[in-house]
Amino acid sequence: MMFIISLILFIGGLFLFGVAFMVTSFQGLVFTAGIIAVCLAMAIPMFRSQWGKEKIH
């Protein structure tokens, strides 16, 4: 399930990158939203893989 969410965020972020150059206003905001979406799409699997693992010293 998390893979689907990450994939949707990633593709949506790439879509926002492209749309940012076509909108007439708020280009920076749309582009920044795309960056945040792609970052979240990459971060979710990384954090998800660490859940349940405990450090043993």
Q: Which residue has the higher pLDDT, 57 or 43?
A: 43
**Average pLDDT of the segment spanning 36-45:** 94
CA atoms within 13 Å, Cβ hemisphere of 22: 5
Backbone angles phi, psi at 32, to 5 degrees: -65, -40
* Band of pLDDT at residue 22, cut at 50, 70 and 90: very high
Q: What is the pLDDT of residue 55?
A: 63
**Average pLDDT of the segment spanning 25-34:** 96
Q: What is the pLDDT of residue 43?
A: 93
Q: Which residue has the higher pLDDT, 56 or 35?
A: 35
